[in-house]
Structure 1
C-alpha cells in the first residue's frame, strides 16, 4: 500500500476492518488536500485543531505532535483505525483527544478540518455543535472527493458557519473553506422520532442513524418474523441501529437477555435511549463495537441482524460476511442467526458455507428472511 506523504508526516496506514489483500487504501486525495492546505497556513504548535469524520485516522495521525489535535466522528471502526494506525507508526495515542460524535465537544478550536460524511444530517449536527466552540479568527474547512460532495454540504456550512469559498479541484478533490461569522445559535432538529403500529412504540433517532425518518423496508419485512418463545435465551442485535429489532423481540420475550451492538456511536446512543424509554430498567448490554469481535465464543443463543451493504461510500458484502462469521463464532451449537437481506445479494449461499442448515423463514418481492443454524 502507498504511504501518505504530507508536509506533516509520512505514514503507513491501514483500514478497518482489515481484509486480506485489501484493495483500498486508508486515505485519499481529499485528505492530502486538507493537509496541504493546513500546512500553507503554518499553524502554531499550540493551535487547537478539531478533525471531524477522519475515516481511518489519516488526518489526526498526520497532525499529531504538530498541533493540539481533537478527533471526533461517529464510527467505532474509525476510532479503532486511528488507534491502530498511531501504534503502527510509533505515535502515542494519549497525545490526542478522541470524542465520539454522541458526546459534546470541548473547544474552543482554531481550525476545524471536516471530511464530509455520507449522511448530511451528521454534518448538520456537527456544525450545530460547533456553535460557541470556535476561537476568534477560526477557520472551518471541509473536504471530499468531488463525486461525493453534494451542493447541500456547502449550503450547511453557509448556514451554520459563514460564507463559503470552493477551492479549485486537485486530483478530483475539493475544499469548501468557510469564513466564520457571528450567527444566531440554532436549535438542532435532531433527534427525530417516528411511531410504529406493530409493536405500538415510538423510536428516537440521532442524526447519523440509518433511516432516521422512518423504519427501513428491510426491518419492516423482518419484524413480523422475529423468533418467538425465546425463554431466557441470550440474544444479540448485531448492527442494532436504533435498537428496533431487539426492543420488539424483548417486548415479546420478557426473560430473554439482550446485547445490542453497532459501530455508530449515535446508533448506540439512540438504542440506549429507546431501550430505557420502552423497557425501563430491564438489563441489557448496549455498546459500540466492531460487530461481535470480542464476544465470548459460544455465548449467544440467537443473533438478529439486518446487515449493511456499504462502508461509507464503498459498496460490498464484506461487512455482512464478516458479521456472519462473527455470529457463527459467538453462537452456541444449535444456536441460530436470523437475517434479512435483499434477494439479489445471495445471502443464502454465503450462509450455507458457514452454517450447517439455512432455511427461508419468509420472503417479499424484494427481501428474504433467513435462519441459519450452527
Structure 2
C-alpha cells in the first residue's frame, strides 16, 4: 500500500530496448537482435492493460525465442514457467537473466514434453514458426487452462496467418487479433471449456521408402515441430544412399539430427559404432530417440541423445565420423552462422583421419567453407540441387 492507503501500483514490464539482451551463443559479428516488435508489443500491452497489471499465479510463456519476454517479466517480479523447444533459446534466457541482475532460477525452464502440474492463470504465446508445434503445445496445455485463464499470443504480421488463429480457436476457444503496430499483432483468446476434445494427432509416423540405403523401409517417428515431419525431405533422401558404410568408425555423430534418420542409417550400416544424436531442438531429439527405438528394441542397441549447441562438450579428437545436414535459418532469418559453428566444432572433435560428411544446397557454398577450415573437401555426389561433401581432419 502507498502512504495514502491506495494499492501499490504493479511493476510495469521493462521493454526489451531497455534491457541487456543477446542471442546465444553471442557473436559480436552477428547483428541479429534478441527481440523484435512482437515481443515489445506484448510487454507494452501487459504494462498498460488494467486487467493484466501485476501478473500473478501460474504464468506460462511458450515460445519465447531468446528470453526477452521472460526476462522482462522476471524483472517486474513475476514468476514465470518458460516452455521452449530450443536449447539455444533456453541458454539465452539464462544468460539474459544474469545480464540483467536476476537469478537464473527465477524462470523455470521446461521443454514441450514436460508435464504441467498446475492450472494456468496466464498463458503468453510467442507464435512459433511451426504451426504444428503451436497446435501440439496448445493441446498439451489445454487441460490446465481454465475459462478465466488469460491467453495472449504475439507475432509479426508475416507470422500470424488464418491457420494460426484457427489453431487457437480449434483447441482453446474464440480468438481475435489486435491492430498491427510496427508490423506486429497480438492474439486474444477466450478459453471455452465446452469445445470438443479430440486426441492430439502428434507424434506422426511414416515408413521410409526402399532404395535409400541401410534405413530403407524403417519407421520414422516425428514429434510436432520437427523438420519434414510427414515425409522424407529431398536433401536427406539424396544423402542417405551416399553415407559411408562399414567404416569401422567407433564413434559417429549425427549433428543436427532432426528426426534421426541419418544417425539411424549410420547405426544400421555400422553395427559396431556408438552413435550420438545431437540437436538444439528438444522435439527433434524426442523424435530421434523414438525413431531409433523403433528400429532397435530396448536392450539391443544403445545410443546417446544430446541437446547442445553443435559439438560443444565433445573431447578434441574423440570422434571418427560426423554426419551433417546443417540448417540455414534461425527463426525467420537466413544465416550460415549455425553451419559454421557446426563445421568448426566438428573439426575440433574429429580425430586425425576422421571425416565430416555434409549435404547441402549447392548455392550455399559449403565446399569453400569446409576447404578453408579443413584444408580439403571432396564432392562425393551431386545433382542439380544438392551436393554431398567430405572433409578429412588431417
State the TM-score, normalized to the length of structure 1: 0.95
**Structure 1 range deviating more: 92-101 or 361-370:** 92-101
| Structure 1 vs Structure 2 CA RMSD | 1.4
Structure 1 residues 21-59: Cα deviation after superposition (integer angstroms, max 9, x where no partner)? 321111111111111222223444532211010000001
Q: CA deviation at 1:17?
A: 2.5
Match of 1:18 among 26, 42, 49: 26
> Structure 1 residues 317, 253: CA separation in 2 closer, same or farther (over 3 Å shift)?
same
Structure 2 partner of 1:339: 358
Greater strand percent: which structure?
1
Structure 1 partner of 2:97: 86
Q: CA deviation at 1:222?
A: 0.3
Q: Counterparts of 2:176 and 2:364 in 1: how far apart (Å)?
A: 42
- For structure 1, which runs of at least 5 residues remain unmatched after alignment? 1-5
2:320 matches 1:312: no
Match of 1:61 among 60, 68, 71: 71
2:297 matches 1:297: no
* Total equivalences in the alignment: 369
Secondary structure, aligned partner of 1:13: coil
Match of 1:189 among 201, 208, 214: 201
Match of 1:38 among 40, 46, 52: 46
The 5 Å alignment of 1:1-374 reads: 7-9=12-14, 10-39=18-47, 40=49, 41-44=51-54, 46-64=56-74, 66-182=77-193, 183-196=195-208, 197=210, 198=212, 199-280=216-297, 281=299, 282-374=301-393
Secondary structure, aligned partner of 1:35: helix
8 A Cα contact 2:127 2:160, kept in partner: yes
State the TM-score, normalized to the length of structure 2: 0.91
Structure 2 partner of 1:3: none
Q: CA deviation at 1:148?
A: 2.0
Q: Counterparts of 2:114 and 2:56 in 1: how far apart (Å)?
A: 24
Q: CA deviation at 1:215?
A: 0.8
Q: Counterparts of 1:29 and 1:7 in 2: how far apart (Å)?
A: 17
- For structure 2, which runs of at least 5 residues remain unmatched after alignment? 1-10
